Amino acid sequence: MNRNDIAPNDRGLSGTNAVEVRGIVKHYGETKALDGVDLTVRQGTVLGVLGPNGAGKTTLVRILSTLIKPDAGTAFVGGYDVLRQPKQLRRTIGLTGQYASVDELLSGYENLYLIGRLLDLPAKQAKARATELLERFSLTDAAKRPAKTYSGGMRRRLDLAASMIGNPKVLYLDEPTTGLDPRTRNEVWDEVQRMVSEGATVLLTTQYMEEAEQLADALTVIDKGKVIASGGVAELKAQVGGRTLQVRPVHPAELPEMARCLHETGLTGATFSADTGLLSVQLTDDEQLTAVIGVLGSRGFGIAGIDTKLPSLDEVFLTITGKSGPTDAVPTLEKEAVA
Amino acid sequence: MSAATLSPATVKPAPLNADDVRIGPRATLRHIGALTRRNLMRIKADPESMLDAVLVPIIFTVLFIYVFGGAMFPTRAQYIQYMVPGLLGTTGLNLAMAVGTGLNSDFQTGVMDRFRTLPIGRSAVLLSKMAAEMLRALVSFTILITFAMIIGLEIKTDVLHLLAAVGLSLMFGMSIVWISMLLGMSLSSPQAVQGVSMLVIMPLQFGSSIFAPTGTMPGWLQTFTEYNPLSALADACRGLINGEAFSHSVLIVVIWSVAITAVTAPLAVARFRKRT
């Protein structure tokens, strides 16, 4: 199940590329939204496009959905050229954006039926497909209600259903879980995994490392319109340093003693902070986690809580670019000075 | 989800030099039908959006007949015969100018992106707006004429002439819809569209022969009203309903409508294609 343990090169070797992007450039006035982006998505796999706000992720998705035209470069989706064969390409794709693109005044059913008709399904089939997808996305009870009465999660599910009507071979999910609560996010993830298991190719943009870990086979990291890293999830994770284990002892006074014990048993990389009362250990694999907990337990330290933390996107950027991350946050000192 | 499920889905190989498929007229008609249905269902879901179509003709009729009517003409009945036919045209104009506002708010939501990623002709979205708008205008015209007849409007010709007046107003209104759509796609917010629309409507509406004969107006304004297509439309409707000469003004309205459509419809479609 843990797809990340499989090296990226092990998958999809026999498949062809469902998406091929070469040297795509897009300017908005002076700003270069995309500055020569290359990427490929193998058929039947999920490519996670990771990047901060304003990195160019959405611009890329809009180009690949024929919503905007690139200034230079080529892009093929399902073998169709975004510039010369937009209508054929549109039959191949489904798009779910960050903001649900459904008609708020129409019911869930009417939304799906409309799209079915626009995809040239006969009325009967459009009806059947709408009903089927409402069922699948657990929206049957709300089928007749206007979409504006839906919760955020229901809307996102309706949006996903809408992009599935035409059985697209390639799905673009543009930050599909931004702004969703954890439970709804999990529902969306489950749905995406199901689509992939049924053979869809997915291009997923996200700001969340965790989302990329859950869903993606391979990653492309974009910053300021440029690809700054790409490869398998495991590969990039190794670059960034994997997870951090955080242990909260019952008695914070024992922190130095705990770190020393770990060091003695050869488990390096443990640090602690009296301020937070946490012991942190950099993990490179799951065995290490078991070992750390085992050592601490056998020495009789009381543990109040443990947690593992993935590197944040900021940390990924920090590592890859070797400079400070993409946050626009005001440095803490300045904030305090203002206050 | 495992590697076992990665069996490649079959993708139709596209001949690299093939031109894009064309969407035939029958498919486009189907798409217009589906989108028109959507626009009508939106009205059903939000009946308040029909308020302008229902109330404006009644308010205008009451306001002008009872407030200004007595002062302008010897009898109120004469003013009804003069003003109501002109109201047909201005009602069409008012409704038409509201289309851009709706189109602009469509762009503010993601719905338009969804449509634009579907394999449908770009004109289908605009033409379906037009179709829904025609139905709205017909409702409005019916209410106007019914109400006016209750308070005394007399159709001095026959139903065919009345229908011709309605058809002419509809035709002119639909040519204005293209201008409104252009504004809707060019300006930044629905509020801006509404503001600019008012600026267009007001001078055209009142600088015309709709509400008052132009004889007492200053020379420059008379010149304006003479070339204002709404004057021609009002004169044509008056002629058709009151049994006076109408062929000249009908011709002018037809020329205006065709000219406006010929210039602005391609611009609107091009703008729609380009809009990102």
pLDDT tens, position by position, A304-336: 888 887 776 667 667 776 654 444 433 333 333
**H or E segment to which residue A201 belongs:** strand A201-206
Whether A16 and B11 lie within 8 Å, measured CB to CB = yes
- Mean of the per-residue pLDDT values for chain A? 83
Which CATH number goes with the domain that contains A256? 3.30.70.100
Q: Cα distance from B57 to chain A (closest Cα, Å)?
A: 26
- What mean pLDDT do residues B203-209 have? 86
**Do B11 and A169 lie within an 8 Å CB cutoff?**
yes
CATH number of the domain that residue A173 is part of? 3.40.50.300
| Pairing, β A17-28 against β A31-42 | antiparallel
Assign residue B112 a region: left if phi > 0, alpha if psi is -120 to 50, beta otherwise? alpha
Paired tokens of A316: 């990924």
pLDDT at B146: 95
A225 assigned to some structural domain: yes
Instruction: Kindly tell me if the per-residue pLDDT of A42 is higher than 70.
Output: yes
Between A187 and B31, the higher pLDDT residue: B31
Helix then strand then coil, in percent of chain A rounded to 5, is 40, 25, 35
pLDDT band at residue A209 using 50, 70 and 90 as cut-offs: confident
Give yes or no for residue A1 having a pLDDT over 60. no
Residue with the two structure tokens 């009517």 = B69
Q: Is residue A10 part of a domain?
A: yes
pLDDT of residue B219: 87
CB contact (8 A) between residue A65 and residue B42: no
The model's confidence at residue A15, banded by pLDDT at 50, 70 and 90, is: low
- State whether A251 and A232 are in the same domain: no
B7 vs A81, more confident: A81
Task: Choose the final residue of a domain: A218, A238, A258.
Answer: A238
SS3 A168: coil
Ranking A5-19, A122-136, A252-266, B124-138 by mean pLDDT, the lowest is A5-19
Closest partner residue to B1 (CB to CB) among A97, A119, A197 is A197
Are residues A256 and A214 located together in one domain of the fold?
no
Lowest mean pLDDT among B18-32, B156-170, B245-259: B18-32
Contacts of B41 in chain A (CB under 8 A): 105-106, 110
How would residue A3 be classed by pLDDT, with cut points 50, 70 and 90?
very low
**Minimal CA separation from A177 to chain B, in Å:** 16
CA distance A28 to A13: 37
If one compares B12 and A167, the residue with the highest pLDDT of the two is A167
What's chain B look like in SS3? CCHHHCCCCCCCCCCCCCCCCCCCHHHHHHHHHHHHHHHHHHHHHCHHHHHHHHHHHHHHHHHHHHHHHHHHCCCHHHHHHHHHHHHHHHHHHHHHHHHHHHHHHHHHCCHHHHHHCCCCCHHHHHHHHHHHHHHHHHHHHHHHHHHHHHCCCCCCCCHHHHHHHHHHHHHHHHHHHHHHHHHHHHCCCHHHHHHHHHHHHHHHHHCCCCCCCHHHCCHHHHHHHHHCHHHHHHHHHHHHHHCCCCHHHHHHHHHHHHHHHHHHHHHHHHHHHHCC
- Do β-strands A270-273 and A278-282 pair in parallel, antiparallel, or remain unpaired? antiparallel
* The pLDDT value given to residue A312: 66
Q: What per-residue confidence (pLDDT) applies to B6? A: 37
**A214 and A256 both lie in a single domain:** no
Query: Which pLDDT belongs to residue A317?
Result: 67
Pick A106's closest partner by Cβ from B5, B9, B45. B45
Full residue range of the structural domain in which residue A275 is found? 243-309
Q: What is the reported pLDDT for A314? A: 65
Summarize pLDDT for B56-105 with one digit per residue, the tens.
Answer: 889 989 988 888 877 888 888 889 999 999 999 889 998 998 889 888 88
Query: Closest Cα of chain B to A119: distance in Å?
Result: 7
State whether B114 and A92 contact (CB < 8 Å).
no
- Residue A137 belongs to some domain of the structure: yes
A78/B45 touch (CB, cutoff 8 Å), yes or no: no
C-alpha span between A78 and B13 (Å, rounded):
8
Is A316 domain-assigned? no
Q: What is the 3-state secondary structure (H, E, C) of B208-244?
A: CCCCCCHHHCCHHHHHHHHHCHHHHHHHHHHHHHHCC
User: For B117, which of A93, A102, A106 is closest by C-beta distance?
Assistant: A93
For the ranges A172-176, A215-219, B108-112, the lowest mean pLDDT is seen at: B108-112
Q: Percent of chain B scored above 90 by pLDDT?
A: 45
CA atoms in the 13 A half-sphere facing the CB of B262: 6
More confident residue, A267 or B19: A267
What pLDDT is stored for residue A240 in this prediction? 67
In this structure, the answer to whether residues A20 and A157 fall within a common structural domain is: yes
Q: Is A237 on the interface with B (CB under 8 A)?
A: no
Q: Does A198 share its domain with A266? A: no
Tell whether A249 and A149 lie within a shared domain.
no
In a domain, A325, yes or no: no
- Phi-psi map region of B229: left, alpha, beta (phi>0 left; psi -120 to 50 alpha): alpha
ipTM > 0.85, yes or no: no
The pLDDT, as a whole number, for residue B109 is 78
Residue B256: what pLDDT? 95
Can you give the pLDDT at residue A321? 66
Q: Which of A46, A105, A192 to mutate to test the interface with B (most CBs of B within 10 A)?
A: A105
Residues A130 and A257 in one domain: no
- Report residue A124 as tokens: 């009967």
Q: Which of A14, A78, A90 sits opposite B118 (nearest CB)?
A: A90
Q: How confident is the model at residue A133 (pLDDT cuts 50, 70, 90)?
A: very high
Exposure of B94 by Cβ count < 10 A (0-12 exposed, 13-18 middle, 19+ buried)? buried
Q: Please, what is the average pLDDT of chain B? A: 86
Percent of chain A with pLDDT over 90: 37
A225 and A257 together in one domain: no
Rounded mean pLDDT, A108-118 = 96
Tokens 């690949």 belong to residue: A64
pLDDT at B16 over 60: no
**Arithmetic mean of pLDDT, B190-211:** 88
Residue A338 lies in a domain: no
Q: What is the pLDDT of residue B19?
A: 55
Q: Report the C-alpha gap between A306 and A293 in whole angstroms.
A: 9
Between the alpha carbon of residue B184 and those of residues A327, B101, B111, B123, B188, the distances in Å are 36, 6, 15, 15, 8
CB atoms within 10 A of CB B154: 12
Sheet holding A80-81, edge to edge: A31-42, A17-28, A72-77, A80-81
Structure letter (DSSP) for residue A198: T
Sheet with A201-206, edge to edge strand ranges: A93-96, A170-174, A201-206, A46-50, A218-223, A226-232
User: Domain tally for chain A?
Assistant: 2
Q: Do A184 and A121 share a structural domain?
A: yes
Asked if A181 and A214 sit in the same domain, the reply is yes
- Identify whether residues A164 and A89 lie together within a single domain: yes
Q: What is the rounded average pLDDT of the residues B99-128?
A: 86
Nearest chain A alpha carbon to B27: A120
Q: B233 CB contacts (<8 Å, ≥6 apart)?
A: B86, B88, B89, B168, B169, B172, B249, B253
Q: Which one of A238, A257, A282 terminates a domain? A: A238
Enumerate residues 267 to 286 of chain A having a beta carbon within 8 A of any beta carbon in chain B: none
Residues A211 and A248 both lie in one domain:
no
Task: Identify the residue whose tokens are 């006076």.
Answer: B244
